Amino acid sequence: MIAYYAMKIISKIFCILPLSVALFIGKVLGKIAVLATPKWRLDMAAGNIAECLGTSPEESQIIAEKSMEKFGRLIVEVLRFPKLNSSNIDEIVAVEGLEYLEQAYNQHKGVIMTTGHFGNWELLGATVALHGYPMLSIARKQNNGAMDRFINEYREMVGQKVAYNRGGNEILAISRMLKEKNLLGIIFDQDTNDVGVKIKLFGKDVITPAGPAILSRMYGSPILPIFMHYHENGEAIAKIYPPIYTEKSKDKDKDIYDATEKLIAILENEIRSNPYMWFWVHDRWKDGKARFKK
C-alpha cells in the first residue's frame, strides 16, 4: 500500500502546482518514458508506423517517440483529477459532437462509447461522466494492486463506475448498465484474447474485440466512437462520431463483422489524422518480438 499512498501524495502536489508547471513536468516525464522504453518496442513502433502510414524511417522514429512522450501529460492529467468537476470540465476539454451523445442517450437503449488507446483515454471517460452521463468503464485489472486501487478510485472520483474486462460479475454489470439505458465505455483497439473478429487494420490481420458489436446487436444500443486529441496549441478536444448500429439479420457473424469493420475504419482515420496520439509501442499485430527483439 506504500505505492498507493505515495501516488496520493504526488497527486496532491500536482493539484497545488500551476497547470503550466505541471504540464512542463509532464513533458519531462514523457522524455523519461521514451528513455525507459525497451529499444525493441520503439523499433517495432517505428517499423509499424512506416508500414501503416508510409512515412520515412526518420519521421516514423519521431512519431514513435512522441507517442510515448504524451504519457507524461496523461499521467499529470490523471493526477489532477481531484481538481475536475462538472463546472470546469469544459475549460479543460472541448467536446465536438456532443449532440450525437445527447441524441443517442435519448433513445433510451443505452449507449456503447468506444475508443482506443489514443490521447488520454482516462480523461475522455472523465469528460463524458462529468457532463452528467451515468457511465461504466470497462478496464483491465492492473498487475500492481496498489496502482489498480489508485486508478479506479480516481475514475470513480470523476463520476465513472468501473468493471474489469473479465469475470461473470463484470458481464452482469455491463448488461445492467445497458438495460438501465446508461453508458458503457469500451477500449476496442487491442487484442484481449477474448472473443474477437479477425479483421484488417492498415491492411494487416488483427483480432479485434467483438464486444461493442455484440452488445449493440443484443440490446439495439448505438455505438458512439469517441477520441481524445491534443492540438499543437495544447488544447484537449474530445471528438464524438455519429452513431453506428449493428444490424440484426440472420447472419450474426456478418452483422458483427460489418459493425467492427466500421469501427476499425474510424480508428484508422483517427490515427492517420493525428498519429502521435496512438499507443504504437503496444505489440498490436503480435509479431513485434519475433521481428524486432534480438
- Quote the pLDDT of residue 115: 96
What whole-number distance in Å separates Cα of residue 241 and Cα of residue 225? 5
Helices in the chain by DSSP H: which ranges? 2-16, 19-36, 39-53, 57-79, 89-92, 98-105, 121-130, 145-157, 168-179, 211-219, 252-273, 288-292
H or E element in which residue 111 lies? strand 111-115
pLDDT tens profile 116-143 = 999 999 999 999 999 999 898 888 888 8
| Contact between residue 230 and residue 236 where contact means Cβ atoms under 8 Å apart | yes
- Quote the pLDDT of residue 249: 96
Q: Residue range 247-263: average pLDDT?
A: 97
**Summary mean pLDDT of the chain:** 92
Is 66's pLDDT higher than 70?
A: yes
* Cross-strand bridge partners of residue 186: 114
Domain ranges of the chain: 2-292
Helix (H, G, I), strand (E, B), or coil: what is residue 108? coil
- Quote the pLDDT of residue 206: 92
Q: Whole-structure pTM over 0.85, yes or no? A: yes
pLDDT tier at 241 (50, 70, 90 boundaries)? very high
- Between 191 and 97, where is the model more confident? 97
Q: Residue range 59-87: average pLDDT?
A: 96
